[in-house]
Structure 1
Amino acid sequence: MENIITTTDNIRLYKIALGFALFTIIYNIAEGLISTYLGFEDESLALFGFGADSFIEVISGIGIAHMIIRIQKRPDSNKDPFERTALRITGFAFYGLVVALVFTSLYNIWSGHKPITTFWGVVISIVSIAIMWMLVLGKRNVGKKLDSEPILSDANCTMVCVYMSIILLISSGIYELWNIPYIDSVGTLGLSYFAFKEGKECFEKANSDKYCGCH
């Protein structure tokens, strides 16, 4: 009887984990569209870069959803070619984003460019922090119950999104309150640092059967 209950619980928990993954994909698509549009309109590089990062997270999220389906069917299996390819594509995308953001932010500092407003950066970052933090807690809860290293690793990676949202909140908030020059570009460089770490993590995961923690 215990085995039946355990199996039923596992099926339910994997469905919840998959639900978290699918929600992450949908949320990042919406966040990416809104952030890049408003970042472009308001000339806020930090918000635009944050939105571009969200689109890359969609690619990663697809790989995560595929991973959850795989480990549900074959708990002891290693990454398959689809997951490794998704990780490499995501890694290259992060590195490309880093180059674009660093060069643009340095140019903005050199030229003295400032955003029109960072109000929407404040709003979007607060919403993102709240949603991503709830996802972290949910993923960690499911990962612990399933004793699943891959799902716990995904929760830690979602935590990186919280860190990036905090950077956006700080840079956007400071500029909105005190109009300090270059703070939007400094925030962009902070986002670039985490994007670089995520890209490096993707290649490490793609070349190994281990699941890194995204720290």
Structure 2
Amino acid sequence: MTGEPREREPARVTCADDCCAPPASPPTARPGAERRAVLARRVRLLVAATIAYNVIEAVVAIGAGAVASSTALIGFGLDSVVEVASAAAVAWQFTATDHETRERTALRVIGFSFFALAAYVTVGSVRALLGADAAAHSTVGIVLAAVSLAVMPGLSYAQRRAGRELGSSSAVADSKQTLLCTYLSGVLLVGLLLNSTLGWWWADPAAALVIATVAVKEGREAWRGDHCC
């Protein structure tokens, strides 16, 4: 067969959430040094806010969980501890002048924190489903879950947006950790309300198992650095 050979089409790059898919229009130029400095400072401030809130959240949740014998509340408090570890890894990364040199280490810490969270939530959920604990009503827990459900989405969105513009996989990964905390807040709120009003003790641990599955997926992406290109 004669004729000029066809040019091979360039390979397409894809990822789980299409963050790496080729854009329809020409790619935007990388931010300049001044803009990158602004974005790095913004990430540091958002991380500091996340750490401060989660320290308070952990103390309140674990204390309320101990009083109410609630595995879900204690697990939620420990999730806050994991969130602090994840945010601290990003804060450590951005203390360096060239923060990109610490990207891989920060991602590994975030990935490990996702795995730890998934393991704890799974064990706690299975124990609750097997009837190991019968949680009492907790007004403090319900209020805490509602407040977290309102606060966390904004923090997650702001950090994810800044991290993507900056091109920082660790900042994006940590924003997903915060978003996962939002999901867990919703699960906790529904579980506590159903337990208090209808006596459906199994609702929270069953939904928490779904959260654990999502945590494993996000942990794998963070470990491989798939959150952003």
Normalised-by-shorter TM-score class: 0.7 to 0.9
Aligned-residue Cα RMSD (Å) equals: 2.8
TM-score normalised to structure 1 length: 0.76
Alpha-carbon distance in structure 1 between the residues aligned to 2:144 and 2:129 = 24
**Structure 2 residue aligned with 1:163:** 183
* Shift in alpha-carbon separation, 1:170–1:181, aligned structure 2, 3 A: closer
Q: After the TM superposition, which residues 75-114 of structure 1 pair with which residues of structure 2 at under 5 Å, given as runs?
A: 75=100, 79-80=103-104, 82-83=105-106, 85-87=108-110, 89-108=112-131, 114=134
* Shift in alpha-carbon separation, 1:196–1:17, aligned structure 2, 3 A: same
List runs of 5+ in structure 2 lacking aligned partners: 1-30
**What is the CA-CA distance between 1:25 and the residue it aligns to?**
1.9
Greater Rg, structure 1 or structure 2? 2
Q: Is the 8 A contact 2:110 2:173 kept in 1?
A: no
Alignment of 1:191 with 2:217, yes or no, is no
2:62 aligned counterpart, secondary structure: helix
Alpha-carbon distance in structure 2 between the residues aligned to 1:48 and 1:60 = 19
**What is the CA-CA distance between 1:84 and the residue it aligns to?**
5.1
**Structure 2 residue aligned with 1:136:** 156
TM-score normalised to structure 2 length: 0.72
**Structure 2 residue aligned with 1:210:** 226
1:115 aligned counterpart, secondary structure: coil
**Structure 1 residue aligned with 2:40:** 14
Identify the match of residue 192 of structure 2 among 151, 172, 187. Answer: 172
Alpha-carbon distance in structure 2 between the residues aligned to 1:95 and 1:166 = 16
**What is the CA-CA distance between 1:41 and the residue it aligns to?**
0.4
**What is the CA-CA distance between 1:190 and the residue it aligns to?**
1.7
Query: Aligned AA for 1:194?
Result: I
* Shift in alpha-carbon separation, 1:95–1:115, aligned structure 2, 3 A: closer
**What is the CA-CA distance between 1:152 and the residue it aligns to?**
3.6
Instruction: Name segments (4+ residues, structure 1) moved above 4 Å.
Output: 147-150
- What percent identity do the matched residue pairs reach? 23
Alpha-carbon distance in structure 1 between the residues aligned to 2:166 and 2:118 = 33
What CA deviation, in whole Å up to 9, does each residue of 1:74-105 have, x standing for no partner?
Answer: 55x5743x325524542442243034213321
Larger helix fraction of residues: 1
Identify the match of residue 73 of structure 1 among 93, 98, 111. Answer: 98
Query: Aligned AA for 2:126?
Result: F
Q: Is the 8 A contact 1:101 1:189 kept in 2?
A: no
